[in-house]
Amino acid sequence: MNSGPMIRAEDLRKRYGDRVALDGVSFTVNAGEIVGLLGPNGAGKTTTLSILSGVIAPDSGRASIAKHDLATEPRVARRSLGLVPQSLALYPTLTALENLMFWGRIQGMASSDALSRARGLLEEVGLSDRADDEVNEFSGGMMRRLNIACGMMHFPAAIMLDEPTVGVDPQSRGRIFAVVEKAAQAGGAILYSTHYMEEAERLCNRIVLIDHGKIVAQGTDRELIALAGTEPRIEIVTKKALPPGWSNGIIGVSELPWEVVDGFAAALSLHTLEQVPDVIRRAGEVGDEVVEFHVHRPNLQDAFLKLTGHALRDAPST
């Protein structure tokens, strides 16, 4: 089994006229690892994948797949890569099996090997019962699953997926997650581009946050949350108003600005979730009764907001 970085980006830079698409992007993806490339639309994710797949060349910097430089060994580098583009790379008038066979043969697989691999992948993506149906009869989620299978036909050492769950149903989303996880467990290096925070938290061993063509931060989700300095918070609704300073004496908590819409509400940041009982007890004493409360654990959305100054889905395109 291969080890070490199977996908490597080193100081990648790319401009389109006056617009800077990438500004010094560097990261690696190791064998057996799922790395999320996370950022808003227009952040540079697709440009990064286009460079790493050899579709376009960077203005400067280096990219390699399975330790083969894309500039000096493009053919062998591309053979080591399975690319799953956001735009479906399927022939609608061919059957599911015929699509897989086509891509397998394009990659130089023998017919018998391609057929065996295709049937195995159809089973894996939940389409074995639709193997002989034309793709134009498929739902969007089924097409997405087949699209992934096409990119995996030739047993690539590295797999790159660009927004693979856009517009899919929950069943297809779950199946896609299972296929990606199985590929990583088999030793594949997976680069998973998305703007869905929950997908990155669910799937990825590490996450690369990109915004305006720059790497904002990279690490595990816990590391990114810690780097951003985000903390848990509690929102409380009480029977009577809580005056300023009502939480004084509870070490490690701080009152947050909060707009009262209905009833009396307050919000606190917490050092740890172990402080929740003390906060609720105090709120009940001062506010007569706690009507309801909500505890929010910090997540990647909070980290992205703290690190960039805007929410992921509200980020302006560039």
Q: Pick from 226, 224, 281: which is nearest to 249 by CA? A: 281
Q: Quick one: pLDDT at residue 175?
A: 94
3-state secondary structure of 60: strand
Pick the CATH number of 231-297 from 3.40.50.2300, 3.30.70.1710, 3.10.440.10, 3.30.70.2740: 3.30.70.1710
pLDDT in tens, 201-220: 999 999 999 999 999 999 99
Q: Where are the domains of the chain?
A: 5-226, 231-297
Q: What gap in Å lies between CA 8 and CA 130, rounded to an integer?
A: 37
Domain 5-226 adopts which CATH fold? Rossmann fold (3.40.50)
Confidence of residue 3 (pLDDT cuts 50, 70, 90): low
pLDDT in tens, 217-253: 999 988 998 887 778 888 898 888 888 899 998 988 8
pLDDT in tens, 76-112: 999 999 999 999 999 999 999 999 999 999 999 999 9
Residue 189 to residues 10, 52, 126, 288, 311: CA-CA distances in angstroms?
17, 13, 23, 56, 29
